[in-house]
Structure formats: C-alpha cells, structure tokens
Amino acid sequence: MTVRTPYLGRFAPSPTGPLHIGSLVAAMASYLDAKVHHGQWLVRIEDVDGDRNVAGADQHILASLQRCGMLWDGEVSWQSRRTGLYQQALRQLGELVYPCGCSRKEIADSQLSLTGRQAQALIYPGTCRHGLAPGKNARALRLKVPQAPHCVLHFDDRWAGPVSQDLTDEAGDFVIKRADGFWAYQLAVVVDDGAQGVTDIVRGADLLDSTPRQLYLQQLLGLPRPSYLHVPVVTNELGEKLSKQTGAMAFDHGAAPQQLLQDAMLPAARLLGMELRADHIDAFWRAAVPAWAQVLRNLPNPR
C-alpha cells in the first residue's frame, strides 16, 4: 500500500471583477492539480484590499466556478473576516516590525539613480528602520529583512524550476500593513495558507517574484513551506499581462455550457498546454485530469 502525501490546494481570487480567462487559467490549474493528486481544493476570497473590491464580484466568481464544474471542498473563506489572524501574526513578528512614515514619493525620490526593474519595484531604502524622523507619523508597518549577511531565499518551482532572490537587494524591508490600514497581501496570504494547512500553491507567474517574501514570512512565523507551481500568465502580443482591466479576457459565465466550453474552458486549457475535445462539461474534466498529469510529466520538478 502506498502512502500518499496529503494534498490541500486552493484558488484565491481577488474580488475585483468577474472571473476572466486569465484567472480561469489559474483556477483550472490549481483545481486540476488537486484532482490529479487526489487532494482537496479550497476557495478563498482575497478581499484584503478593500479599495479594489467590487461589490458582488465574489459571488459572481463563485457562480462562474460552479458553472465551469469546479466545485470546492469545505466552506469558502473571506480574508476580510480573518483579520484577527493577521493581528496575531503581527504580534508574533514582534520587534522585526517597525512603523514607516515615508510616502511613496519619498521612497521613489531616494532611488532616482536606480534604473529598470529595481526602480519600478520601489525598494525601500530603510529610512525609518531605526525610528521615525522627528515630525513623521507612522503610515505603514514594515518587516525588517536581514542586511548582513544578505537574506537570499531559494525554492524549486514545479513549473519555473529553481528560483532565488536576494531579499535584501531585490525587496528590502517590505510592508505588512499598509498606509491605508489594510493588511498587505504578503502577510495575509502566508497567514491564511498556514492556518488552512495548504500544502500546494498553484497560481499565476505574476506572483513568482513575491514568493521569496512569503517564504521569509513563513520562516519567521514557523509555518511549513508549501510546494509552488506558477503557471505562465496569459499575455497579449506586447507581452503585457492580460487582466480584467483590459476587458479582452472576459467571458459570459451565464452562457450555455456548450458556449462556455468553446469561449472559456477549452481556450483556458489550451493556454495550459492541453488540447482537449469535449462537448459537455463532465467530459471536459474527464479529459482534463489525465491531460494535466501529462503536462506535469514534462515539468522540471515533480511534486
């Protein structure tokens, strides 16, 4: 008898608009990965950024998942109802957290000499690390990243292969509670995955860059490290990430199943490297599970 490693995956959409082809690709990959590994699949609504939430988008996304035949295990969770957990994690981080009084503009001005990717990411120069300057008010809370020696984190992404990032140079002390009072994504996602016991994270490659910050938080909070698989993000011919803002990726979730397959599910599967044929939704999933297992066999890292 073989003993399987328990698998708990999740799909964690932000309720900023309806599910579109790009987010459907991520949902489909995480759902299929859970099915292939005989695991469970949770849905968590990442509504921690209160300014970006669109009323009703959470229910719309859940209805789309159901119509596509992606049924989750257990209860759906909402980050906005879990702030007690984030507060507790903040206490646990203790003296590694400090208040920062810098505006975005001040951080940008301090690094005009940087170019390209580093400047875009606005790496914090550590201005308030040793206390707020007189006259400054605390705006955000930041987490100290070790300076000497540098904090370099490595992980093996199942799709992208080995990834390493020097947090000291490439991220700097990062925000865990924002100036607008909302919890930062980095903290919320780590705390939730830890609290829910998520073992396997399958999501879009736009989050690959922030994974090392999450690994660092996991270490500090004593949480186990999940396995990661970042699927390529759907881009347009200019290489720009297609998002709900572009409108190009929308699909009508109320369409008849046949139409939903043609307009959304089969194209999403194709973006994951699966050429499927199916004329109804059950048949789609019967074909997609073994097709995903085949995709996995060609990846750099097995689970």
User: Rule CB under 5 A: which of 223-262 touch Zn ion?
Assistant: none
Minimum CB separation from Zn ion for residue 102, in Å? 3
DSSP letters spanning 169-206: HHT-SEEEE-TTSPBPHHHHHHHHHHHHT--EEEEEGG
| Nearer to Zn ion among residue 101 and residue 232 (C-beta) | 101
Q: State in angstroms the smallest separation of the CB of 125 from Zn ion.
A: 8
Range in contact with Zn ion (rule: CB under 5 A) among 17-25, 32-40, 96-104, 259-267: 96-104
Is residue 110 a contact residue for Zn ion (CB under 5 A)?
no
* Shortest distance, position 128 Cβ to Zn ion, whole Å: 3
Q: Which of residues 208-227 bind Zn ion (CB under 5 A)?
A: none
For 16, phi then psi, to 5°, come to -100, 0
Within 120-139, the residues that bind Zn ion by CB under 5 A are: 127-128
What's the half-sphere exposure (Cβ side, CA atoms, 13 Å) at 261?
17
Name the DSSP letter for residue 197. Answer: T
Q: What DSSP state is assigned to residue 118?
A: H
Q: Is 274 in the site for Zn ion (CB under 5 A)?
A: no
Q: Which of 61, 100, 198, 205 binds Zn ion (CB under 5 A)?
A: 100
CB under 5 A: which stretch of 94-102, 212-220, 248-256, 292-300 binds Zn ion? 94-102
Q: How far is CA 204 from CA 75, 250, 262, in A?
A: 23, 17, 22
Say how far apart CA 175 and CA 184 lie, in whole Å. Answer: 7
State whether the Cα torsion 101-190-14-124 is positive or negative.
Answer: positive
Cβ 173 to Zn ion shortest distance, Å = 8
Does position 102 bind Zn ion by CB under 5 A? yes
3-state helix, strand, coil in the chain (%, to 5): 40, 15, 45
Residues of the shown chain interacting with Zn ion in the complex, contacts defined by CB under 5 A? 100, 102, 127-128
